[in-house]
Amino acid sequence: MTPAGSLLTAVGLTKTYGPTKALDGAEFSIHPGEVVAVMGPSGSGKSTLLHCLAGIVTPDSGVITYAGRELTSMSDAERSALRRSEFGFVFQFGQLVPELTCVENVALPLRLAGTRRKAAERTALSWMERLQVEDVADKRPGEVSGGQGQRVAVARSLVTSPRVLFADEPTGALDSLNGELVMQLLTEAARATNAAVVLVTHETRVAAWSDREIVVRDGRSRDMERAI
Amino acid sequence: MSLLRAWSRDLAMGARFACAGGREGWIRTLLTGVGVGLGVALLLITTALPSALAARTDRGDARSTVGSPTAEHPGPDTLLVARSNQTYRGKDIEGTLVQAEGPKAPVPPGLSRIPGPGELAVSPALKKLLQSPDGALLRERLDGRITETVGDAGLTGPSELLFYAGQSGLDANLNRVERITAFAYERQTERLSPLLLLLVVLTFVTLLLPVAVFVAAAVRFGGERRDRRLAALRLVGADSRMVRRIAAGEALAGSAAGLVLGAGFFLLGRELVGGFDIQQRSVFPADLDPAPWLAALVAVAVPAAAVAVTLFALRGVVIEPLGVVRTTRPSRRRLWWRLLVPLAGLGLLTPLTGRGDDGGEFNRYQVSAGVVLLLVGITVLLPWLLERLVGRLRGGPVSWQLAVRRLQVNIAGAARLVNGIAVAVAGAIALQMMFAGVEGEYTVRTGEDPTRATVSIILGSNVQGDPEQLARQVAGYPGITDAIPLRSVSAAHEPVAEQGLVDVTVGTCAALREVAQLDSCKDGDAFWATGGSTLGGSYGGRAEPGDKLYAGNVRGYEQDVKPVEFTVPATLRTVPSRPDPVGVQRSGLLLTPSVAPGDTGGYGAQQIFVMTDGPAQEGLERARTAAFKASPLSVASTLHTTRQSRSYSTIRTGLFFGATGVLILIGTSLLVSQVEQLRERRKLLSSLVAFGTRRSTLSLSVLWQTALPIGVGMALAALFGIGLGAVLMRMAVQEVRIAWAEVAMMTGAGAGVVALVTLLSLPPLLRLMRPDGLRTE
Amino acid sequence: MSIGHTLLGLLEAGPRHGYDLKRAFDEKFGHDRPLAYGQVYSTMSRLLRNGLVEVDGIESGGGPERKRYAITTAGVTDVESWLAQPEKPEPYLQSTLYTKVVIALLTGRSAADLLDTQRAEHLRLMRILTTRKRKGDLADQLVCDHALFHLEADLRWLELAAARLDQLAKEVRR
């Protein structure tokens, strides 16, 4: 079942929130360096799928394997450590700490992993240059535009050189041009570091930056490439 | 007219927002209400306290016999009374022996009739104690038939232990027995000394100021969310004055809820107070009745303050349709006017230096204003100090960085959080210093030595049976190592004498060693003790070996009791006296039993020193019972090295009550705002957890976020508390001495509140960190 | 757009006369261009010839004789594969896509599946355009963006149409 060479795979995921079945037997797999778009109507369970894959939420049943290790049987601390070192995250809203400056926000994951402040901020700054937001380094998130903020968030997600980048509607709050820019920089950076990207979106134009898409509908996933 | 209409319309709309607005809305209003309510309850209790204390005093006076009119001879309206206060298991029991001499004898307050011989009227609390297993030993002492329960009119508080015991053997000639024709007591108001007045003023200010600070903080719960809602109102067309009025309306609704809840808390607290018993003082719920004008003042002042605080908080804020904009960057806090406030306070207090000397007068308004200004100085200096200190902080671990940055963004909020606690701690430190200083003045060294004897029993002069026999009986009780009887009696060279009286102390050698330094002693010896400070030689009498003396009724009080004749033994030796266990240094004749005069017919005093080895609760209680049985007029007192003035300990009790309340209150407010702040950051917390932030990192950052401002606040509070204490002590002409232990204790208490609040905010924090927060609602 | 498949799809709901077929087609798809009866006749004969429909019965009343057509199993399979086959993404596909969605809903098939398949096909082209855009100059970018926006617009319209029709179908069935 698991395609050879997969970095992250999931089989038979189910997750229930109260009366609603968010996932009902979803499957997923991604290769290193691959960008996979997760599409589907709102409420279909695509965000829940991402949360499960990233080890933020434990599924009720099913198995998730990351680099040969079973994510679903790890402790919370182990999964947290994994998220710190191997995964990166970009969300639509509310992810930058409003009190920290942008460069401090970008450096945060490195500092959480134990890097010293100076070194962490140096690495952070180089990533900010790559995402063309080095000029807002010392501003606070409230003082920069939405597009800049989102690129700062992308820089933060990449700063630990993660092997998997989880992006949940990363352009959801942006206009076309800024959305384009974020997607371009995100996919380029991910390809350059051979990071896999799990991209949750409902926009086809955003999904077009992916290599492959799966569709989640009523908690079930459908891999369009193999369906055809 | 139109302005009035606009105001009422907008206030009403604000009030509606406070109550509607979904779950979030009413939870926020409830939090504000609870916060304000707690403050209101404390205010009401504080305003009710003076009248409650007055009511206690009034009833205490009403039953007092100290200043009662007395009569020379028995009549139809005379009553014999004697105090017979008891101690039982460390509790004081107020007892009065009564014996009616006629049908119209005055009835004590709270009773319907005078208890007859062998009958007992007891307070409800004492009745409960007597009927409980704990009171079994006491029941042996007070074994009369309980015929009546003393009504509230005869009690100072619900848990007071009090009895009236009907007697038949009282006699107006007996020591400590009075013949009265009425209860009640002409009050001579004891004017508080300037020093005590200072303490009272300080206590009230210290308690009320944090409450005011707290109420101001409580009406701002949920400020950020409210700002967003106001912005939304601007979007639909409200102008900036309208939204301010709406905000005022919300604050008004919150404080109105607070008033209602506060009245509820107060009534509830009042009922609870009835069950409280601090240092054996209790208060009747009905006594806790705030003066109507004070209650009205609270009802008006709290909502007015709420509105004022809200409008003041919105002063630097422009509410735009798309969000709230702080006008420019809040300007750097200036120091000069902040320094003016405490300096003005100091300026008011300094001229009063040295006025606390005897008879000195303080202008109490000047004192209050000075103290208030000094303490308010903390609240204006704290934001400045925090800005200076926190603004410079850099680096550190992630948890520290998160906390410091958060504080840098919202210095005012952090300061608001800490202000109340800092004021309370500063005031408490000043008070503690004052108390520590005053303690020497108002605490009397008794001279008693508890290591030599635990209890001293002075038997009533109508004692039944042989005191020596009684002492042997007491010595046999469990835990009692010894019971030493001593008899003291006056003697003279003539059967009736006015001058030249000689004190005679009779006891075994062991007993006499307690009052003088004896090299050797055997029965039949006699000594002449010298060096006594209080008694003995004071009459100037002198006895030589072989002198014939008369002991007992040598002053001719009663015709039918004749003095007893005896001879001073020839072996009389002079010895230096030493203080006995109660601190009395006797001089005069010391006689062993075989050379002592016989029964002096009730004249003189019988004393028994009871020695124990470690705690001997039961033995001591049985000893007291035996003494009471021998004569209800006996006094059994436990020996203490020091004794505090009553006024002093009352103020300290007040401070204890208040400080507890204030700390609980401020702890609650800290917790509420902490949790609220966390709720507003729910999404952020979830995303931080998503990218692998350890829970411990976030918990620590919450701790820093509270601990840092509290640390600064405590330092400032310690500084101001010591300063205020020093100024006040100089006013009171006390030697300025910093009570470091108290300073550490008070700041430690503040730190303890932080720790507790952090601990209590952890469960909601952990809950908020769950990934559910990432789900879009 | 394939009239043959559309008529077959309409027949799948039940046998109909030629005239009824025309009326149903006009009602649902032919707002601006009603189908000529001759076109129905010639299409039906072609379908008969290919064995996708059969004559269910002939009614001879007063007027011209009227054949009643019914779909064969081969016909159903043909409709099935037509619906499953995504259209080549190109501008102005809406009439074809719309017809497909309506037929899918009418024949009780899942419009969502059809949509997913079509989206995958669109995405294939959009990926190519995105890659070209990424590597190309400004002119390429502008041209590709134009195409991308059109393709996306079609998809979004299709999604909306499917959702609306699905709702409608539910209401009709109720």
HEC sequence for B92-157: EEEEEEEEECCCCCCCCCCCCCCCCCCEEEECHHHHHHHHCHHHHHHHHHCCCEEEEECCHHHCCC
**Touching pair C, B by Cβ (3+ pairs < 8 Å):** no
Chain A CB within 8 Å of residue B691 CB: yes
Number of H helices, E strands in chain A: 8, 10
- The 10 Å Cβ neighbour count of residue C29 is 20
Chain A CB within 8 Å of residue B649 CB: no
Average pLDDT, chain A: 86
Asked if A120 and A110 count as a contact pair (C-beta separation under 8 A), the reply is yes
Would you state the structure tokens that stand for residue C93, as one six-digit string? Answer: 């596909």
What amino acid is encoded at B344 in this protein? A
Chain B contact set for A113 (CB, 8 A): 692
Euclidean distance between CA atoms C155 and B73, whole angstroms: 118
Chain A contact set for C123 (CB, 8 A): 37, 204, 207-208, 213, 224
Chain B contact set for A91 (CB, 8 A): 687, 690, 774
Q: Name the minimum distance, in Å, from the CA of A101 to any CA of chain B.
A: 9
Question: What is the pLDDT at residue A1?
Answer: 41
User: Is there a contact between B690 and A83 if contact means CB atoms under 8 Å apart?
Assistant: yes
Segment holding B331, helix H or strand E: none
Asked if B509 and B518 count as a contact pair (C-beta separation under 8 A), the reply is yes
User: Is there a contact between C152 and A204 if contact means CB atoms under 8 Å apart?
Assistant: yes
Partner residue opposite C112 with nearest CB, options A184, A217, A227: A217
Euclidean distance between CA atoms B326 and B413, whole angstroms: 14
pLDDT tens-digit profile of B525-548? 888 888 765 444 445 677 788 888
Partner residue opposite B692 with nearest CB, options A83, A140, A168: A83
Chain C CB within 8 Å of residue A165 CB: no
- The runs of H, that is alpha helices, within B585-694 are 617-630, 646-680, 682-690
B3-35 as b/e: b if 16+ CB within 10 A: eeeeeeebbebbbebbeebeeebeebbbbbbbb
Residue B369: burial class (beta carbons within 10 Å; 0-12, 13-18, 19+): middle
Would you state the structure tokens that stand for residue C39, as one six-digit string? Answer: 């076109």
Chain A contact set for B227 (CB, 8 A): none
DSSP state of B278: B
**Touching pair A, B by Cβ (3+ pairs < 8 Å):** yes
Q: Hey, is B516 helix, strand or coil?
A: strand
Euclidean distance between CA atoms B509 and C3, whole angstroms: 136
With residues binned 3-state (H G I as helix, E B as strand, rest as coil), the percentages for chain C, rounded to 5, are 70, 10, 20
Question: What is the pLDDT at residue B322?
Answer: 63
Would you state the structure tokens that stand for residue B723, as one six-digit string? Answer: 């300063």
Partner residue opposite C120 with nearest CB, options A41, A203, A228: A228
Question: What is the pLDDT at residue A199?
Answer: 93
pLDDT tens-digit profile of C49-85? 888 888 887 776 656 667 888 888 888 888 888 888 8
Angle between helices B240-275 and B292-313 (to 10 degrees): 140
Chain A CB within 8 Å of residue C149 CB: yes
pTM score, two decimals? 0.63
- What phi, psi does B158 have (nearest 5°)? -65, -25
Q: Name the minimum distance, in Å, from the CA of C36 to any CA of chain A.
A: 36
User: Is there a contact between C119 and A204 if contact means CB atoms under 8 Å apart?
Assistant: yes
Chain A CB within 8 Å of residue B218 CB: no
> Which chains pack against C, by 3+ Cβ pairs within 8 A?
A
- Is this complex's ipTM strictly greater than 0.90? no
Chain C CB within 8 Å of residue A1 CB: no
- Only one residue has tokens 């390809």, namely A191
Q: Which of C85, C88, C123, C129 to mutate to test the interface with A (most CBs of A within 10 A)?
A: C123
User: Is there a contact between B398 and A95 if contact means CB atoms under 8 Å apart?
Assistant: no
Chain A CB within 8 Å of residue B398 CB: yes
Segment holding C161, helix H or strand E: helix C138-173
User: Is there a contact between A47 and B774 if contact means CB atoms under 8 Å apart?
Assistant: yes
For chain B, list residues with pLDDT below 70. Answer: 1, 20-25, 185-201, 207, 218-225, 276-281, 316, 320-332, 354-362, 364, 437-444, 464, 532-540, 556-560, 642-662, 664-665, 771-777
Q: Which of B325, B398, B701, B704 to mutate to test the interface with A (most CBs of A within 10 A)?
A: B398
What amino acid is encoded at B599 in this protein? D
Chain B CB within 8 Å of residue A132 CB: no
> Which chains pack against B, by 3+ Cβ pairs within 8 A?
A
What amino acid is encoded at B146 in this protein? I
pLDDT tens-digit profile of C80-109? 888 888 877 766 666 777 788 888 887 878
Euclidean distance between CA atoms C135 and A14, whole angstroms: 41
Instruction: Please report, to the nearest 10 degrees, the dihedral formed by the alpha carbons of residues B711, B717, B718, B722 taken in order.
Output: 170
Asked if B234 and B243 count as a contact pair (C-beta separation under 8 A), the reply is yes
Question: What is the pLDDT at residue B736?
Answer: 73
Chain A CB within 8 Å of residue C47 CB: no
User: Is there a contact between C126 and A204 if contact means CB atoms under 8 Å apart?
Assistant: yes
Asked if C129 and C141 count as a contact pair (C-beta separation under 8 A), the reply is no
Nearest CA in chain B to A57: B771
The set of residues, in sequence order, having a beta carbon less than 8 Å from that of B397 and lying 6+ positions away, is A111, B697, B700
Asked if A70 and A63 count as a contact pair (C-beta separation under 8 A), the reply is yes
Chain A CB within 8 Å of residue C170 CB: no
User: Is there a contact between A83 and B402 if contact means CB atoms under 8 Å apart?
Assistant: no
Question: What is the pLDDT at residue A36?
Answer: 93
User: Is there a contact between C148 and A208 if contact means CB atoms under 8 Å apart?
Assistant: yes
Euclidean distance between CA atoms C148 and C157, whole angstroms: 14
Partner residue opposite A108 with nearest CB, options B398, B690, B694: B398
Chain A CB within 8 Å of residue C129 CB: yes
Euclidean distance between CA atoms B345 and C18, whole angstroms: 104
Euclidean distance between CA atoms A105 and A96, whole angstroms: 6
> What is the Cβ-side half-sphere exposure of residue C63, based on CA atoms within 13 angstroms?
2
User: Is there a contact between A83 and B691 if contact means CB atoms under 8 Å apart?
Assistant: yes
Euclidean distance between CA atoms B44 and B261, whole angstroms: 12
Chain C CB within 8 Å of residue A210 CB: yes
pLDDT tens-digit profile of A17-73? 878 888 888 889 999 989 999 988 877 888 889 989 988 888 899 999 998 888 888
Q: Name the minimum distance, in Å, from the CA of C19 to any CA of chain A.
A: 37
- Closest residue by Cα to residue C127 from A186, A213, A192, A197: A213
The set of residues, in sequence order, having a beta carbon less than 8 Å from that of B638 and lying 6+ positions away, is B87, B450, B454, B455
Asked if B97 and B144 count as a contact pair (C-beta separation under 8 A), the reply is no
Euclidean distance between CA atoms C165 and C170, whole angstroms: 8
B39-61 as b/e: b if 16+ CB within 10 A: bbbbbbbbbbbeebbebbeebbb
- What phi, psi does B3 have (nearest 5°)? -65, -45
User: Is there a contact between C122 and A204 if contact means CB atoms under 8 Å apart?
Assistant: yes
Q: Which residue has the higher pLDDT, C40 or A166?
A: A166
Q: Name the minimum distance, in Å, from the CA of A204 to any CA of chain C.
A: 6
User: Is there a contact between A97 and B690 if contact means CB atoms under 8 Å apart?
Assistant: no
Contacts 24+ apart (CB under 8 A), B288-295: B288/B45, B288/B48, B288/B49, B288/B52, B289/B48, B289/B51, B289/B52, B290/B44, B290/B47, B290/B48, B290/B51, B291/B47, B291/B48, B291/B51, B294/B47, B294/B48, B295/B44, B295/B47
Instruction: Please report, to the nearest 10 degrees, the dihedral formed by the alpha carbons of residues B753, B754, B755, B757 taken in order.
Output: 80
Q: Is the pLDDT of residue C2 over 70?
A: yes
- Only one residue has tokens 């009034």, namely B58
Would you state the structure tokens that stand for residue B362, as one six-digit string? Answer: 């303080």
Can you tell me the mean pLDDT for C123-138? 87
Chain C contact set for A35 (CB, 8 A): none
> What is the Cβ-side half-sphere exposure of residue B729, based on CA atoms within 13 angstroms?
24
- Listed by number, the residues of chain A in 30-49 with a beta carbon closer than 8 Å to a beta carbon of chain B are 47-48
User: Is there a contact between A184 and C134 if contact means CB atoms under 8 Å apart?
Assistant: yes
- Closest residue by Cα to residue C76 from C46, C98, C45, C108: C108
Chain B contact set for A94 (CB, 8 A): 683-684, 687
Chain A contact set for B409 (CB, 8 A): 98-99, 140
Chain B contact set for A17 (CB, 8 A): 775
Asked if B569 and B524 count as a contact pair (C-beta separation under 8 A), the reply is yes
